[in-house]
Amino acid sequence: MDFRLTDEQFALQTAARKYARERLLPLAAETERTGAPPSHELLHEYAQMGFLGINVAAAYGGLGLGNLEALIVLEEFGKISAALAFPVFESSVGPVRAIERFANETLRQRVVPRVCSGDLVVAVSMSEPQAGSALTDLTTRAEVGDEKVTVTGTKRWCSGGGHAGGYVVYCRMSPAPGAAGIGAVYVDADTPGLTFGSAENLMGFRGVPSSDLYLDGCVLPLENVIVPAGGFRKLMEAFDLERCGNATMALAQASGALEDVLAYVQERRQFGKPLVDFQAVQLRLAEMKMRVEAARLLIWRAAANAQEGLPDMLESSVAKCYANEIAREVCGHAVQLMGAYGYSREFPMERRLRDAWGWGIAGGAIDIQKVNIAAAMVGKRFDQRR
């Protein structure tokens, strides 16, 4: 068991870090101020650099590397800005992977290469007004006919809503109750009957547009079915990789905060000496370092054990839950150590704290991850309705 990065992985990490700090750092403050997502020009630049679809097969325009390589790049981008890292997230651990893995070849060829080239952004739409953590309560319906699929319903909290060019929509595709009736379809943004709600005004995640989706009899070709009814388990298998991406975005807030505060306490002087010379500061730094390293190891374990496949629920849930919790803690400590500089919007630390809080809600709340962990430990699913 070797915990060191290979030479190739280290070179990829170095290239991603250099690009993120030199190219993205100047853009991060403006993205936070305006809330505008990355431009099409920047997405094309990502693609030319090989940062989109890192773990997507080369046949579909990706680099064909592993999940671990994708997460290594994602962390370096996420340290600078969650919004500027989000296209990497979506193309490597997001809904595109469900299309690549489970959709028919026609849909794969139509969607995945365009994402890897930076010409298309694809978002996932799972939650509904009465179905968030209780995802099997979905009411959005897809009626499957001989030649078409008709989708009707309302989706909530879609990251990328109103901005993405396509949506992976979880919906009920048969009368079967619970998970047995759920599948997913792909909906192009210009599909007649698809409209969007107002942009959400969130505490964090600025630069990651979010809105409701309204599907009023959207007619799709049969080839747009990604997973038919009864395929909920497959969707959750793909989502286990997204959990690792969520965990990495949370980790990035913590690891970025630690890097910044470590530099700050060595430069900032009080009572005639650098802050780092005070033992209380040293103890806090050590605690932050332990948590960051532990979170990274849990995430990398889930990715490495999956090899070329998808992580399992237990390892991905443990990684996500721990990373979500320590991100809030580490970023909070960093704000406190930096005092007014940490609390000021002139510096990135307060943004990291706000974003860190969001990752523990997005993609399955922290307490839901703990239920998943307990379920995997005892080998049964718990019915929260009884």
Per-residue pLDDT tens over the stretch 100-134:
999 999 999 999 999 999 999 999 999 999 888 88
Domain boundaries, the chain: 7-116, 122-229, 233-378
pLDDT digits (tens, 9 = 90+) for 189-228: 999 999 999 999 999 999 999 999 999 999 999 999 999 9
pLDDT tens per residue across span 71-100: 999 999 999 999 999 999 999 999 999 999
Cα separation, 63 vs 51, whole angstroms: 9
Residue 303 zone, left/alpha/beta (φ > 0; ψ -120 to 50; rest): alpha
Q: Right CATH number for 122-229 from 3.40.190.10, 2.60.40.10, 2.40.10.10, 2.40.110.10? A: 2.40.110.10
Residue 384 has pLDDT above 80, yes or no: no
Contact 235, 98 (CB under 8 A): yes
CATH 2.40.50.140 corresponds to the domain 233-378:
no
Q: What's the pLDDT band for 3 if we cut at 50, 70, 90?
A: confident
At 38, is the pLDDT very low, low, confident or very high (cuts 50, 70, 90)?
very high
Predicted local distance difference test score (pLDDT) of residue 228: 96
- Residue 238 pLDDT: 85
Confirm if 270 and 93 have CB atoms less than 8 A apart.
no
Report which of 210, 156, 153, 137 is spatially closest to residue 185, judged by C-alpha positions: 153
pLDDT at 305: 86
pLDDT tens, residue by residue, 261-317: 999 999 999 999 999 999 999 999 999 999 999 999 999 999 988 876 778 889 999
Phi-psi region at 304: left, alpha or beta (left = phi > 0; alpha = psi -120 to 50): alpha
pTM for the model stands at 0.95
Which homologous superfamily is 7-116 in?
Answer: Acyl-CoA dehydrogenase/oxidase, N-terminal domain (1.10.540.10)
